């Protein structure tokens, strides 16, 4: 559960990089949206990498195994919807605009990566919500069921009666 929680946090933490990595090349809303998606992709690359390493360490040591909550799952899914709905028109705009500003192939790849990131973020958010809704709790181990009647090991080899 630490892996899933920190994966979601890593995906959300990509927003922190947007003001620092902003590189707008033209004027207008479409250029600003493309710059935001590019910065978000770079921030998510770093955030998810750090989140997965920390999650792996926490999972290996057995700490922080609580199931993520509804709030984290809902915010993650909503953020994924926002990213995907902004990346889709950006892909269409990059493919249909006249050349002359930047690399259209590279920008369309960045927009596609942002769209794929949005879809993956939606899946992570929905999986958190579904795990929480199903009542899954990793701290409780399922009881092992024995086959057949339960027998006392001290009675082995003795006649019943």
Task: Give tens-digit pLDDT for 51-101.
Answer: 888 888 887 887 766 667 788 889 999 999 999 999 999 888 888 766 546
Q: Which pLDDT does position 79 carry in this prediction?
A: 94
Q: Which pLDDT does position 52 carry in this prediction?
A: 86
Residue 156 within any structural domain of the chain: no
Distance CA 146, CA 152 (A): 13
Residue 71 within any structural domain of the chain: yes
Residue 146 within any structural domain of the chain: no
Residue 89 within any structural domain of the chain: yes
Listed range (29-33, 61-65, 148-152) with the worst mean pLDDT: 148-152
Distance CA 133, CA 71 (A): 12
Percent of the chain with pLDDT over 70: 76
Task: Please give the model's pTM, rounded to 2 decimal places.
Answer: 0.75
Read off the DSSP letter of residue 138. T
Residue 158 within any structural domain of the chain: no
Looking at the predicted structure, is the pLDDT value of residue 46 above 60? yes
Q: Which domain holds residue 68?
A: 2-134
Q: How many domains does the chain have?
A: 1
Residue 160 within any structural domain of the chain: no
Residue 57 within any structural domain of the chain: yes
Q: Which pLDDT does position 86 carry in this prediction?
A: 92
Residue 33 within any structural domain of the chain: yes
* DSSP per residue, 68-132: P-HHHHHHHHHHHHHHHHHHHHHHHHHHHSPSSSS-HHHHHHHHHHHHHHHHHHHHHHHHHHHHH
Q: Which residue has the higher pLDDT, 139 or 92?
A: 92
């Amino acid at each position: 559960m630490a892996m899933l929680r920190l994966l979601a946090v890593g995906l959300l933490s990509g927003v922190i990089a947007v003001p620092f990595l902003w590189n707008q090349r033209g004027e207008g809303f479409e250029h600003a949206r493309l710059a935001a998606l590019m910065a978000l992709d770079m921030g998510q690359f770093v955030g998810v990498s750090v989140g997965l390493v920390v999650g792996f360490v926490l999972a290996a040591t057995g700490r922080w195994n609580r199931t993520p909550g509804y709030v984290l799952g809902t915010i993650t899914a909503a953020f994924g919807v926002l990213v995907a709905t902004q990346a889709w028109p950006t892909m269409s705009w990059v493919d249909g605009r006249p050349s002359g500003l930047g690399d259209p192939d590279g920008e369309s790849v960045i927009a596609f990566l942002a769209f794929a990131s949005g879809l993956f973020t939606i899946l992570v958010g929905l999986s958190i919500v579904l795990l929480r809704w199903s009542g899954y709790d990793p701290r409780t181990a399922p009881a092992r069921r024995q086959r057949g009647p339960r027998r006392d090991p001290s009675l082995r080899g003795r006649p019943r009666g």
